[in-house]
């Protein structure tokens, strides 16, 4: 799962296309389809920072791709209350150890919640532990 610019993904394909082609799918957080971008009116950060890498990954690789654009990340929210309510499972403990760092950055900038797309499809078992809150809509 790529949650940032696709620079390293593009470089990995260029370095060893055979190994990278073994991926079942590549889930990427990036772009803005039907919403304004977060860098300017059209551009989303992850693709804006390295458009050549994004272009390469989309045009030059044959691995099936799942795009999770800004349209989704603006709707899928994970609040500190949601994190506190996670069960004491392996995945719950992992998220409790990771997400507060993101929350501090978002909350420090005046937002009330963190975008939680990074949790969306990492492990289907997580959905069963209610990792993604009930207000979220997942594609």
Do 91 and 66 fall into the same domain? Answer: no
How distant is the alpha carbon of residue 11 from its chain centre?
19
Whether residues 63 and 109 fall in one domain: no
What average pLDDT does the structure give for the chain?
Answer: 78
Q: What is the pLDDT of residue 108?
A: 61
From 72, 93, 113, the end of a domain falls on: 72
Q: What is the pLDDT of residues 11-62, one digit of tens each?
A: 999 999 999 999 999 989 899 999 999 899 999 999 999 999 999 999 999 9
Q: Which domain holds residue 88?
A: 75-128
User: What pLDDT is stored for residue 109 in this prediction?
Assistant: 59
For 50, phi then psi, to 5°, come to: -140, 75
CA–CA dist 130, 122 (Å, integer): 13
Number of structural domains, the chain?
A: 2
Same domain, 88 and 104: yes
Q: Is the pLDDT of residue 90 over 80?
A: yes
Q: Is residue 33 part of a domain?
A: yes
CA torsion sign for 14, 8, 31, 19 is: positive
What pTM did the predictor assign? Answer: 0.67
Shared-domain flag, residues 23 and 68: yes
Range scoring the smallest mean pLDDT among 6-15, 46-55, 96-105: 96-105
Q: Are residues 81 and 46 in the same domain?
A: no
134 vs 117: which has the higher pLDDT: 117
Q: Which residue has the tokens 């690789």?
A: 61
| 3-class DSSP assignment, residue 2 | strand
């Amino acid at each position: 799962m790529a949650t940032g610019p696709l620079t390293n993904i593009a470089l990995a394909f260029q370095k060893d296309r055979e190994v990278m082609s073994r991926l079942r799918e590549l889930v990427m957080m990036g772009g803005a389809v039907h919403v304004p971008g977060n860098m300017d009116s059209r551009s989303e950060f992850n693709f804006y920072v390295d458009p050549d890498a994004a272009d390469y990954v989309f045009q030059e690789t044959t691995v099936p791709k799942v795009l999770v654009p800004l349209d989704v990340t603006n709707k899928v929210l994970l609040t500190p209350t949601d994190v506190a309510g996670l069960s004491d499972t392996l995945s719950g403990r992992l998220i409790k150890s990771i997400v507060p760092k993101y929350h501090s950055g978002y909350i420090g900038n005046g937002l009330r919640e963190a975008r939680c797309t990074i949790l969306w499809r990492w492990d289907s078992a997580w959905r069963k532990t209610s990792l993604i809150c009930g207000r979220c809509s997942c594609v």
